[in-house]
Structure 1
């Protein structure tokens, strides 16, 4: 019987080998490469155009668009963390990652993805204040407040994943650790370890619940208040005008959590491993590529969209 030698915790001599999508025939590697390259270019160009448009146009210097450029920046960072390595894998067969590179990729991907969830919560809060408390909007959503909210979203996400990454890096790995994924995702790295994976799997699951369901709950709470107010407006035109400013944000939220749901179902259901891998790949690419399309419909309305004198049924 072959003896597997595991190195000690945090041994930087470990090399990680990405298995990719094992059932994918090699003849399809090049087509998949071009598909991923096209999607990556669309993500970069679409989000870069949003950044340039918002920064260059003074009329867009509003809180709604300030949070939008944060979201676009995160879309670029999330995909840049994972997609270039996947492109290299499918084009050149480059499957190796050093110990520091693998854990850096894992940490940045999870942190930036988490930051997106928190920014979506902040955007939902911005829409709640604009619609439900329009007279207080200039006081509540000052540039200083917006900066604090955005910074808090970034820092919370960056700090939240440090314990899991550190604990995972202290697990024992073989000299060559085989990762059944296209990039260093947390669960895939944990499963490549020689150590007991149960504690780290549980920790990863708990963190995923916190960064997925808690932000979703806050978003739904904000829109519950918005929907309650919209239903009290007698005018159909008033309802449409009030709710139209939320449509693009709802599309982004729907895309983001649909991707998470797909990845979760692929993991929990009794499906082949490659379905789980593809679920995570879709999560890494689908949301960033669709966000610019969704956000292109962002209604160019002033934040104070609800006239205090609007026809509202009390």
Structure 2
């Protein structure tokens, strides 16, 4: 990423939501509420899963990893945006922008792989229940989680290097609230064709491979559920993966809309709306769907809070 120091532009301006200046404070309050809720609920989930022995199961192990990931992803985007809203200083250095782009991509890729791993866990639990405990051991769970995190760290490295090798000579305004690929590409004054091909090869391979893996898992899950004769049995079995399916549907719908289209057709105003949805609304939605509506988690959380209150 060394060439960024030789660019004509040394910093960018994250325009964000400047089109509605009268709502800057209101937006700050909304995003601060989202941020506090996201961090607090995910920390509660992580703490509850760690504290309660009966939650030491593969599904909750992956959910706690998902919560860690949500905290990392939220911290990569929202704090910088809130500082800009409250102070009016929306500048970010070129190096800082590329670093933010890398980490947002890192956590996004990790999320894709983790959703695929969780779909595999649900496939084993429903389609191969007799072998589930022997296949999905704690060691296998650890390896699968490690794979998701490691893939997330390494996959965006080449696109980040390609972006860092671009020259930026003005304008400085990024029409987004964080450093994303398409808005950065628009500001480059050099040939971006290689960077674009590299990025979209990366995006298509990660997003579509994980999506199709998850889709195949759910085809097997649904076919298995439909073979259950009892309506109650079908409902009970399928209920174990409805939360994951809801999160997958929402996340992939928004991500595919943004990241696997040609850059030339990008409309940044619509992208900002969709990006708000998957980068801020979805992290609020996930703890509720995955854990806080789960009776087992709610009972465990109540026990942890009661125990903490007694000790306090």
State the TM-score, normalized to the length of structure 2: 0.87
Structure number having the greater helix percentage:
2
Which range moved further: 51-60 or 130-139? Answer: 130-139
Aligned to 1:255: 250
Q: Which moved more, 1:95-104 or 1:173-182?
A: 173-182
Q: Distance in 2 between matches of 1:79 and 1:93?
A: 21
Computed over aligned residues only, the root mean square deviation of the Cα atoms, in angstroms, reads 2.3
Judge conservation of contact 1:15–1:175 (CA < 8 Å) in 2: no
The CA distance in 1 between the partners of 2:260 and 2:32, in whole Å, is 26
User: What SS is found at the alignment partner of 1:216?
Assistant: helix
Instruction: Identify if the C-alpha distance between structure 1 residues 266 and 32 changes in structure 2 by more than 3 Å, giving closer, same or farther.
Output: farther
1:104 alignment partner in structure 2: 99
Determine if contact 1:248/1:298 at 8 Å carries over to the other structure: no
Match of 1:211 among 206, 209, 222: 206
- 2:117 counterpart of 1:129: no
User: Offset of 1:17 from its aligned partner?
Assistant: 1.9
The answer to whether residue 171 in structure 2 is matched with residue 198 in structure 1 is no
1:178 and 2:135 are equivalent in the alignment: no
Deviation of 1:12 after TM superposition, in Å, equals 6.0
- Structure 1, gaps ≥5 residues long: 1-7, 302-314
Give the aligned partner of residue 283 of structure 1. Answer: 278
Q: Does 1:16 align with 2:12?
A: yes
Shift of 1:278: 2.4
TM-score, normalisation: structure 1:
0.87
Rounded Cα–Cα distance in structure 2 between residues aligned with 1:148 and 1:270: 39
Q: 1:273 to 1:120 in 2, by over 3 A?
A: closer
Please state how far the C-alpha of 1:49 moved relative to its aligned partner. Answer: 1.3
Gap runs ≥5 in structure 2: 298-312
How far apart are the structure 2 equivalents of 1:266 and 1:201? Answer: 11
Counterpart residue number, 1:77: 72
Superposition deviation, residue 237 in structure 1:
1.5
Give the whole-Å Cα distance in 2 for the aligned partners of 1:265 and 1:213: 9
Shift of 1:42: 1.3
Residues 288/164 of structure 1: CA separation in 2 closer, same or farther (3 Å cut) = same
1:68-119 CA distance string (max 9 Å, x none) = 0111111111010010111111111121112321111110101101111111
The match for 2:236 is: 241
- Write the deviation string for residues 28-53 of structure 1: whole angstroms up to 9, x where unpaired: 11111111111111111111111111
Matches within 5 A, 1:265-280: 273-280=268-275
Moved more, 83-92 or 96-105: 96-105
